[in-house]
Amino acid sequence: MPEVVTPAPKPRTGRTAHGRRRVRSALALAALELFAAQGFEATTVDQIADAAGVGRRTFFRYFRSKEDVVFPGHDERLAEVVELLEGADPAADPLVVLGRTAEVVLEMYLAEPEVSLKRFELTREVSALRDKEIASIDRYQRVFARYLRERYAGEPGGDLRAAVAAAAVVAAHNHVLRQWLKSRGELDAKRLLREAVEQVTAALSDRRPEPSVVEGEDVVVGVVRTSAPAGVVLKQLEDALREIR
């Protein structure tokens, strides 16, 4: 499925990027507060614009709809992620690239803690918004998977590995984000994500760590004759080899 990224309409005011972010953030916060206070359905765009001290037309310069306001800047974020992956060093370990990209996504949440926390509460209450959030997460996952598919192209089982690794990295990201939200922004989310991604990539990477070649290194593999199934022998060998490395 091709990824279609439709950018939100660009504001046509002469404001600075910083000013635009402030207006967007104010609108998002006002909307989230209204949604929480009187419900999503009962809230109108006019009320949101009023509460943020701008007009209805300004609202529509920043957002397409009421739903859209819950996930401000989503399309731009996704576009940024696509750009990051397309510009990544082709020689770098793809899972490391993905882990760093997940950090960038996380930072987007951390940069607006108030909006992120309010949204978190809201998506727990309004199932339509939760579904929208899930769909938005899925778009990241598909972008991640596509990047890995390209990097694993030609490898046997590459598509499966790409799908699984993308899902695993996104799951790690979401887990850490959720922990951070539950802690009301107290946890060191970036450190937690780095650790989580390291765990995931260590498990999923079949590239062994670069052989730090030691001159004259010898590897001795013992003979095994056993009635154990190959899978078990393989595991034992892996463990044994890991020890002597």
- Rule CB under 8 A: is residue 126 a binding residue for a second copy? no
Q: Which of 12, 18, 57, 242 binds a second copy (CB under 8 A)?
A: 242
Burial bucket for residue 185 (CB in 10 Å: 0-12, 13-18, 19+): middle
Q: Which is nearer to a second copy, 58 or 136 (CB)?
A: 136
Least distance in angstroms from the C-beta of 80 to a second copy = 22
The count of chain residues that interact with a second copy, using the rule CB under 8 A, is: 61
Rg (alpha carbons) of the chain, rounded to whole number: 23
Is residue 105 near a second copy by the rule CB under 8 A?
no
Distance in angstroms (rounded) separating the CA atoms of residues 74 and 115: 13
Contacting residues for 222 by C-beta, under 8 A, at least 6 apart: 240
Q: Which of residues 166-225 bind a second copy (CB under 8 A)?
A: 166-168, 170-172, 174-176, 196, 199-200, 202-204, 208-209, 211-225
Does residue 116 interact with a second copy by CB under 8 A?
no
Q: How far apart are CA 81 and CA 75, in angstroms?
A: 10
- Quickly tell me which residue has 């990241």 as its tokens: 140
- Interface pick for a second copy out of 54, 108, 164, 187 (rule CB under 8 A): 164
**Are the CB atoms for 35 and 122 separated by under 8 Å?**
yes
Binding status of residue 153 toward a second copy by CB under 8 A: no
CB of 182 to a second copy, least distance (A): 11
Measured distance CA(166)–CA(159) in Å, rounded: 11
Cβ atoms of residues 149 and 2 within 8 Å: no
One-letter identity of residue 51? A
- CA–CA separation, 199 and 192 (whole Å): 11
Q: Which is nearer to a second copy, 13 or 199 (CB)?
A: 199
Among 65, 83, 157, 191, binds a second copy (CB under 8 A): 157
Site membership for a second copy, residue 5 (CB under 8 A): no
Would you tell me which residues interact with a second copy (CB under 8 A)? 1, 124, 130-132, 134-135, 138, 157, 159-160, 163-164, 166-168, 170-172, 174-176, 196, 199-200, 202-204, 208-209, 211-235, 237-238, 241-242, 244-245
